[in-house]
């Protein structure tokens, strides 16, 4: 049985790690790993393959750094003959990036069943490129693996039939459990950055709706700079944000900017932070996994369970006093609920994939 896997962006390498491990433990399963090349810096890609013990990609399409149409189109153009040649039994995609959509569309048109990990998430904000990618991917998928009951409800409301939906839990939780201990032992990032456990705020910013508007980006810079007058703020800078800050001639002064870090260092930074302020999907959940309060710098979140449980507050950058909202959230806690499964989502996915094909 052959499973083609298409990944391309940082969070997908992290989601892939536990799923790939589970798939490879099943006799008779072979994995064809295709990297679209969407993320290509060592700090955005290579480091994860090394640290998370993921096999080297069999194929790299080297498609990146262009507009949505060009990127998605070129990925599809390069992917189609590969899928025709290898004829996988199914094609597996993760999340909601352009790489996800390109993989799903190519497979669907070649009548290869698509399996989507992290199906059913909705922000209900069609201005986000990710929302288009999610909706379309879900609607061409045969196997939809969901992280929570809200995601299942979203799919039902879009008339996706129950026999395609599998509530398995979140593979990022599997990864957090598997690598969390290793991060504690291995990472020296706190010493390197010069912060004490529970003595700093960790921030990440990269969403298009935050970085591509000079007004919103400036508001976030001002808000985080203001927080840094009270507590150290550490910000591993996404290359997109770095470029956009340069474009608007802004830089952080008090906030401590570092290069993007590997997953183990990120886990160490997250789990030891007094608060996480982010627009990342994955980082919102990881804050919850490690019992750290989170402020989401967006107008909405698709991870609504985190808000309901009290671990996360949504703080729209343009309409909020970011400094006040972050300072107020420090020290708060949510309810001790188990939202994203029991840490075995990857094994469940591997079993369902191999028994259904
Ligand atoms: C992409 C995803 C987003 C996801 C994020 C994870 C889409 C539409 N967006 O956003 O959903 O949350 O990845 O991080 O798929 N760049 C580099 N080096 C790299 C990668 C990117 O310099 O290794 C720069 C390039 O200038 C590029 C820009 O960052 O043009 C944006 O990269 P892109 O992959 O288009 O989108 P992300 O913002 O990373
Ligand atoms: N991450 C990382 N290093 C960083 C920033 C993030 O390893 O410098 C990890 C983070 O722990 C999470 C994932 O990348 O597992 C989230 O990816 P990102 O924020 O790029 O994308 P999103 O989840 O918003 O799609």
Domain chopping of the chain, boundaries: 2-170+341-356, 188-329
Residues 295-321: tens digit of each pLDDT:
999 999 999 999 999 999 999 999 999
| Per-residue model confidence (pLDDT) at position 1 | 95
Distance CA 19, CA 1 (A): 16
Residues 164-186: tens digit of each pLDDT:
999 999 999 999 999 988 998 99
Query: Which residue has the least CA distance to atom 5 on ligand 1?
Result: 9
Who has greater pLDDT, 44 or 182?
Answer: 44
Query: Which ligand has the shortest distance to the CA of 276?
Result: 2
Query: Which residue has the least CA distance to atom 28 on ligand 1?
Result: 240
Please tell me the distance between residue 355's alpha carbon and the centre of ligand 1 in angstroms.
35
pLDDT bucket at 323, cuts 50 / 70 / 90: very high
Residues 193-235: tens digit of each pLDDT:
999 999 999 999 999 999 999 999 999 999 999 999 999 999 9
242 lines ligand 1 (CB under 6 A): no
Q: Which of 9, 11, 73, 133 to mutate to test the pocket of ligand 1 (most atoms within 8 A of CB)?
A: 9
44 lines ligand 1 (CB under 6 A): yes
Do the beta carbons of residue 20 and residue 116 sit within 8 Å? no
Please tell me the distance between residue 247's alpha carbon and the centre of ligand 2 in angstroms.
23
Query: Which residue has the least CA distance to atom 14 on ligand 1?
Result: 10
Q: Which of 283, 287, 288 to mutate to test the pocket of ligand 2 (most atoms within 8 A of CB)?
A: 283
11 lines ligand 2 (CB under 6 A): yes
Query: Which residue has the least CA distance to atom 9 on ligand 2?
Result: 263
Write the CB contacts of 338 (distance below 8 Å, at least 6 apart in sequence).
none
pLDDT bucket at 336, cuts 50 / 70 / 90: confident
188-329: which CATH topology? Rossmann fold (3.40.50)
pLDDT bucket at 356, cuts 50 / 70 / 90: confident
8 lines ligand 2 (CB under 6 A): no
| Per-residue model confidence (pLDDT) at position 184 | 86
256-258 sheet: strands from edge to edge: 256-258, 233-236, 201-204, 275-278, 294-296, 312-314
Residues noted as catalytic = 206
Residues 112-167: tens digit of each pLDDT:
999 999 999 999 999 999 999 999 999 999 999 999 999 999 999 999 999 999 99
Region 33-41 average pLDDT: 98
Do the beta carbons of residue 285 and residue 191 sit within 8 Å? no
User: Selecting from 3.40.720.10, 1.10.3720.10, 3.60.130.10, 3.40.50.2000, what CATH number does the domain 2-170+341-356 have?
Assistant: 3.40.50.2000
Distance CA 304, CA 312 (A): 9
> Could you tell me the end-to-end alpha-carbon distance of the chain, in angstroms, rounded to an integer?
8
Residue 357 has pLDDT above 80, yes or no: no
Sign of CA dihedral 45, 47, 53, 59: positive
Atom of ligand 2 nearest to the CA of 236: 8
Query: Which ligand has the shortest distance to the CA of 240?
Result: 1
Residues 255-278: tens digit of each pLDDT:
999 999 999 999 999 999 999 999
Write the CB contacts of 195 (distance below 8 Å, at least 6 apart in sequence).
232, 234, 272
Please tell me the distance between residue 239's alpha carbon and the centre of ligand 1 in angstroms.
8
Residues 99-110: tens digit of each pLDDT:
999 999 999 999
Query: Which ligand has the shortest distance to the CA of 210?
Result: 1
Query: Which residue has the least CA distance to atom 33 on ligand 1?
Result: 65
Please tell me the distance between residue 330's alpha carbon and the centre of ligand 1 in angstroms.
30
Report the percentage of the chain scoring pLDDT > 70.
100
Tokens of 197: 């456990």
Please tell me the distance between residue 215's alpha carbon and the centre of ligand 1 in angstroms.
20
């Amino acid at each position: 049985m052959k499973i083609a896997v298409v990944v391309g962006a940082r969070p997908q390498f992290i989601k892939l790690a536990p799923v790939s491990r589970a798939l490879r433990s099943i006799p008779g399963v072979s994995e064809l790993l295709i990297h679209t090349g969407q993320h290509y810096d060592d700090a955005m890609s290579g480091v994860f393959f090394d640290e998370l013990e993921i096999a080297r990609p069999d194929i790299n399409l080297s498609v990146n750094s262009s507009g949505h149409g060009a990127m998605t189109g070129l990925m599809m153009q390069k992917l189609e003959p590969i899928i025709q040649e290898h004829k996988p039994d199914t094609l597996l995609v993760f999340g909601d990036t352009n790489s996800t959509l390109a993989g799903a569309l190519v497979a669907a048109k070649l009548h290869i069943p698509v399996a989507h990990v992290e199906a059913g998430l909705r922000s209900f904000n069609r201005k986000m490129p990710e929302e288009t990618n999610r909706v379309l991917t879900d609607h061409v998928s045969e196997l939809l693996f969901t992280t929570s009951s809200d995601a299942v409800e979203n799919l039902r409301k879009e008339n996706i039939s129950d026999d395609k939906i599998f509530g398995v839990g979140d593979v990022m939780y599997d990864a957090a459990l598997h690598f969390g201990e290793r991060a504690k032992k291995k990472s020296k990032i706190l010493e390197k950055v010069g912060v004490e456990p529970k003595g700093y705020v960790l921030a990440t910013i990269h969403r298009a709706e935050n970085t591509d508007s000079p007004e919103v980006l400036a508001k976030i810079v001002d808000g985080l700079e203001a927080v840094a007058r009270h507590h150290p703020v550490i910000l591993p800078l996404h290359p997109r944000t770095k470029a956009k800050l340069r474009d608007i001639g802004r830089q952080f002064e008090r906030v401590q900017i570092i290069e993007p870090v590997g997953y183990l260092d990120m886990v160490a930074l997250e789990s030891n932070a007094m608060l996480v302020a982010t627009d990342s999907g994955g980082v919102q959940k990881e804050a919850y996994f490690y019992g750290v309060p989170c402020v989401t710098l967006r107008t909405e979140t698709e991870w609504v369970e985190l808000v309901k449980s009290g671990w996360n507050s949504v703080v729209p950058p343009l309409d909020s006093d970011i400094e006040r909202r972050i300072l107020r959230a420090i020290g708060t806690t949510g309810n001790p609920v188990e939202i994203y499964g029991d840490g075995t989502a990857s094994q469940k996915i591997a079993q369902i994939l191999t028994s259904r094909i």
